[in-house]
Amino acid sequence: MQKPQQTMFRRFLAYYRPQMHLFAADTVAALAIAAIDLSFPVILRSLANGLFTQGSTAILQALPLIGLGLIALYTLRFICRYFVSAWGHIMGARMESRMREDLFDQYERMCFGYFDQHNSGDMMSRVVNDLFDICEAAHHVPEWVITCGIEIVGAIVILMTISAPLALAMLVVTVVFVVIMVRQNFSMRATFADNRRKIAEVNSQLQDSLSGMRVVKSFANEETERAKFRHSNDRYLDSKVAQYFAMGTYQGTCAVLTGSLFTVVVIFGGWLIAQGRMSAIDLGTFALYISLFSTPIETLVNSTETYQKAIAGFERVDEVLRTAPDVQDHPDAGELVVTRGGIEYRDVCFSYPDERADDGVEPRPVIDHLSLSIAPGETLALVGPSGGGKSTTCSLLPRFYDVVSGSIQIDGQDVRTVTQKSLRQAIGLVQQDVYLFDGTLRENIAYGRPGATDEEVREAARRANIAEFIEGLPEGYDTVVGERGSRLSGGQKQRVAIARVFLKDPKILILDEVTSALDNESEEAVQRALAELARDRTTIIIAHRLSTIKNADDIATVERGRVVERGSHEELLARNGTYARYYRMQFEG
């Protein structure tokens, strides 16, 4: 079996595949740079030992040719460096962008259960921050490994030919330092991973405070929010401080390596000269090679830092990419065909995923052997105590969650055997908490059917009782609604949401507490729009205010996840059960 780390590495490598041509060209350019850098001291040494000892005439005659050769060499180096810097980074940026897209697509695939358990600030942090270092790592790490590897091996070979004992002494010192530096580098990885978690906490805190700013202001709780934000920000600072201490130790060790190499060359090299086993020119060449030798070693060890940083981020991204959505289309899923719109809940049981934790305690079922059938075109009202399971019952129909046992059918088709897309296209949902996107009224209504014409948008608005209001605005349908529709009233938002559903034109409708937050006048306008919307559609309507269900054909009382009574308004009043008690509470005080 593959270790998770290996498979994650493979998934990381898979992002190179579409960029293979760039990667190959980048590698060739990097190799050329390494070869040119390595050749310079060799050229200098052969000139010093050969041509430069042959007298001034020969030197002066050869200089223009040597100059031209060097210019050609360094022009090639410039072209290669330009390619590596520009196109190498572009390759990394493309990979980063692809990962970001994949992560977003994965979030789009996730279901309600996932979003119940994950904070949106943390999710944003994964999409934005965690991928920041990918571009650098994806491009530089392979380039550094190749060029530095060649430079180090090349330098060792050349140094061995000049003086094997001195080269071996340098090698021993280097190996000792590399072992120390690699160990330090791994301990830095923990600090990078901690950094990611802490900045995600800052994002989550920020997101929570900013989204709830109206509540913060209304309670004058700015100080509490500041304290909460400072707490997470300070934790991030502590994590960064720990990271920089680790980095300081590491960078210090790098500096000691270079110093040690110079010391070894001067002391041991001096001793070799004194013994007559080495010339002063060779010692100079050795000194030139020290930086050509120690710089790639530092770069190589640094590359593990860049890699660790990127991988700490990719790990968090990969964690999401590896998560299979709770609700998925069956491989043989077909399209839902709604002929009449009949709905049947058969002995359905359900509990929320977080309540199904394996702590040995049997979770309390939120829906407990619920059976319910709704005839085509019928409007069924669900009433009952808060927390009784009405909204959950409705959420199971479009498969926002899957039933634990039992089944739900639409026109005889189990909702788990059809595609989620066709299922959700057939169901229109209007809730109390309307979400409008920060765009124009036209865009928000057209969300119900992307590509709808202006005429269709206007018609939907008219049927939702909002056209008059919109047309009275200075910018009409081009009015920007603000974040979450903050520039509209509750009733107006509801009617925009209803207009959306008119455009969608589904056969089945779920109306979840649509009017409970509205005053009587708004409720009246929304009620008329809803009555029009529900016509000829199978409708489930959840309402606490019993006045809002006067148009229902049938009423079912849901209590502790079960349907405890069902019938018309008069039948239920006569039965004198939960519904009758509710009714008396609301209308007779």
Contacting residues toward ligand ATP, per CB under 6 A: 116, 352, 354, 366, 384, 386-392
Q: Which is nearer to ligand ATP, 198 or 390 (CB)?
A: 390
Q: Which is nearer to ligand ATP, 384 or 491 (CB)?
A: 384
Q: Which is nearer to ligand ATP, 34 or 509 (CB)?
A: 509
Crossing angle for the helix pair 280-321 and 120-127, nearest 10 degrees? 140
Q: Which is nearer to ligand ATP, 359 or 570 (CB)?
A: 359
Question: C-beta of 385: minimal distance to ligand ATP in Å?
Answer: 7
Cα–Cα distance measured from residue 574 to residue 504, given in angstroms and rounded to the nearest whole number: 39
Q: Which is nearer to ligand ATP, 116 or 238 (CB)?
A: 116
Q: Which is nearer to ligand ATP, 229 or 352 (CB)?
A: 352
Q: Which is nearer to ligand ATP, 133 or 512 (CB)?
A: 512
Asked if 139 and 92 count as a contact pair (C-beta separation under 8 A), the reply is yes
Question: C-beta of 569: minimal distance to ligand ATP in Å?
Answer: 19
Q: Which is nearer to ligand ATP, 41 or 389 (CB)?
A: 389
Cα–Cα distance measured from residue 255 to residue 449, given in angstroms and rounded to the nearest whole number: 63
Q: What is the phi/psi pair of residue 28, to 5°? A: -60, -45
Question: C-beta of 390: minimal distance to ligand ATP in Å?
Answer: 4
Question: C-beta of 541: minimal distance to ligand ATP in Å?
Answer: 12
| Host H or E run for residue 429 | strand 427-431
Cα–Cα distance measured from residue 526 to residue 547, given in angstroms and rounded to the nearest whole number: 13
Question: C-beta of 366: minimal distance to ligand ATP in Å?
Answer: 4
Question: C-beta of 189: minimal distance to ligand ATP in Å?
Answer: 35
Q: Which is nearer to ligand ATP, 389 or 398 (CB)?
A: 389
Q: What are the CA-CA distances from residue 199 to residues 235, 237, 442 (Å)?
A: 9, 9, 37
Q: Which is nearer to ligand ATP, 116 or 553 (CB)?
A: 116
Q: What are the CA-CA distances from residue 555 to residues 29, 252, 381, 391 (Å)?
A: 75, 76, 5, 15
Question: C-beta of 557: minimal distance to ligand ATP in Å?
Answer: 11
Cα–Cα distance measured from residue 61 to residue 57, given in angstroms and rounded to the nearest whole number: 6
User: According to the 3-state scheme, what is the secondary structure of 178-230?
Assistant: HHHHHHHHHHHHHHHHHHHHHHHHHHHHHHHHHHCHHHHHHCCCHHHHHHHHH
End-to-end CA distance of the chain: 68
Question: C-beta of 562: minimal distance to ligand ATP in Å?
Answer: 12
Cα–Cα distance measured from residue 2 to residue 275, given in angstroms and rounded to the nearest whole number: 56
Q: Which is nearer to ligand ATP, 278 or 396 (CB)?
A: 396
Question: C-beta of 555: minimal distance to ligand ATP in Å?
Answer: 14
Question: C-beta of 542: minimal distance to ligand ATP in Å?
Answer: 6
Q: Which is nearer to ligand ATP, 9 or 112 (CB)?
A: 112
Dig out the tokens for 495 from the structure. Answer: 């009617």
Q: What angle do CA 99, 101, 102 make, to 5 degrees?
A: 65
DSSP structure class, residue 18: G
The sheet carrying 508-512 orders its strands as 427-431, 508-512, 538-542, 379-383, 554-559, 562-567
Q: Which has the closest alpha carbon to 509: 379, 363, 366?
A: 379
Dig out the tokens for 93 from the structure. Answer: 């940026």
Question: C-beta of 401: minimal distance to ligand ATP in Å?
Answer: 8
Cα–Cα distance measured from residue 199 to residue 243, given in angstroms and rounded to the nearest whole number: 13
Question: C-beta of 545: minimal distance to ligand ATP in Å?
Answer: 11
Burial group, residue 21, by CB count within 10 angstroms (0-12, 13-18, 19+): exposed
Cα–Cα distance measured from residue 270 to residue 402, given in angstroms and rounded to the nearest whole number: 79
Question: C-beta of 11: minimal distance to ligand ATP in Å?
Answer: 30
Q: Which is nearer to ligand ATP, 38 or 394 (CB)?
A: 394
User: According to the 3-state scheme, what is the secondary structure of 44-112?
Assistant: HHHHHHCHHHCCHHHHHHHHHHHHHHHHHHHHHHHHHHHHHHHHHHHHHHHHHHHHHHHHHHHHHHCCH
